[in-house]
Chain A
Amino acid sequence: MPLPYYVSPEQMMKDKAEYARKGISRGRSLVTLEYGDGILLVAENPSTLLHKISEIYDRIAFAGVGKYNEFENLRIAGIRHADVKGYSYSRGDVTAKALANAYSQALGNIFTQDIKPFEVEVLVAEVGDANGARNEIYHILYDGTIEDERNYAAMGGQSDEIRRFLKDHHKEGMPLNEALQLGVRALTVTQNKTLNERDLEVAVLDRTKARRKFRRIPLEALGQLLGTAS
């Protein structure tokens, strides 16, 4: 029987982190912005069928970057968590915070215990209600690190540059079209190309909507908001 040879835990974690980061940085980016009526999520995603952004519960949305099958698993687990909780207590008791913590635990465990870490970053956003409760945005990394973000967040390939760009340009209470145009500019800040509505997946958590706040923005409306409609 061959002896397993020794690798220091430090080295092992470093290797895993590097592996995960590489996987994530290959993927396209995603940004989230708070705007006047809620939270906007914009992803560069040419597919109209395989989503990166999705609805979790009444006021909560999910977004993932990296390996599709891995964040898809997390997405479904999140919907289950939220639906069971809302069914057994009440709809108002489902919070982004509890969900973000569950994701953080799951990703942390996978990172330390499995040979291959998940190559994903996920984002959980919850829109506040009209009477002043504030928006919440949680950003969870491949190793379970969890951060709460204000005003804007970016994940995926060139997220550092995008974040810097958003820091300089984000204003509070922007209307939807302005926020969307800023989001799209942020996604292209590191690359010499323009994105049109066909390259984008866009959704909002709109606090003016009735119960379920999540809404995908369809292609035609996207063109109008971007001001590119002919």
Chain B
Amino acid sequence: MSLKTRVSSLWRNLVHRQRADRDLDDEVRAVQALLVEEKVRQGMTLQQARRAAHIELGRVETIEEGVRDVRTGAFLDALIQDLRYALRSLRRTPGFAVAAIATLALGIGANTTIFTLLDAVLFKSLPVPAAHELVALYENAPDAAPDVSGGTGRYFRFSYPRFEWLQQAIGEHGKLAAATRSSRFVVRLPGATEAERVRGQLVSGSYFETLGVSATRGRVLGSTDVRVGQVDTVAVISDGFHKRSFGGSDSVIGQTLAVNGLQVTIVGITPPGFVGVWTDNEADLWMPLTLQGPLRYENNSSSYNVADRSNPWIGEDRIAWLNLIARIPSRSCRARSCCSTPPTGRG
């Protein structure tokens, strides 16, 4: 059977099913009538002929079933009939239908969520070059330490002076960056009457250099923007934030935002897909960590009780508020799997 014949048969049998069935019925009944006449011609009475014809032919429905079974697309046809029946039955018992659909939806939803999470956290790699060279720093609990580790025994936050010390310790072997976990800032766009909350991070001047992220427009923050004793009111925004709140307009570089009441100037936009290094803690705004005081930023910190939190934190060695990320290039280590333990710092 050629493909063309097969397709046209399938078309007739499925799409014009009713007509095909009607024709079949006409055909079989016509033969039935002819059979009766044949027997009448042979000498039977009409009644006898009818009965004999019935015996010889069998039930018309049975013959028609037999033909339907061998039709091209019989399997598909049966499937469609079954689906129709299933739908009709479901409509008759809506309670059951709702329960079944809800259960399936819940199961599928839960599965999708978990795999999406897994994909974001485990399978996708960071949109930065040589992501396997990046490590997060933590130190082990010193004795008599305050409640900073969340029970893990690992301290992921460092004070600024400690960050500087570690930066010197790494020296030429790598780069070290400091960043706060993202938190929401109250941001008012130029010309807007209402403020919105935007997730942002305060970062060191080495942040973008360590990650290897450059701006698609303007520039990213560098070491000149983050110096102790200076207040550089600059900011870098994400591509998503640029598209969402500025409509992707070309004139955004140089515009000022009011962040927690402080006017900062936008100097650059990061590439699409970059939202910081933590998939569970995305950010759309990056500002120098020297702005911690002017912004009245008070998140992501832990301290010994003796620390004075009202002063700018940049000089405080007892307020641990910065997460550290290092890039340790390895000459031999190329594949993601071969880099293992991160270096730990101990003072």
- Physical interaction between A and B: no
A residues with a Cβ closer than 8 A to B are: none
B residues with a Cβ closer than 8 A to A are: none
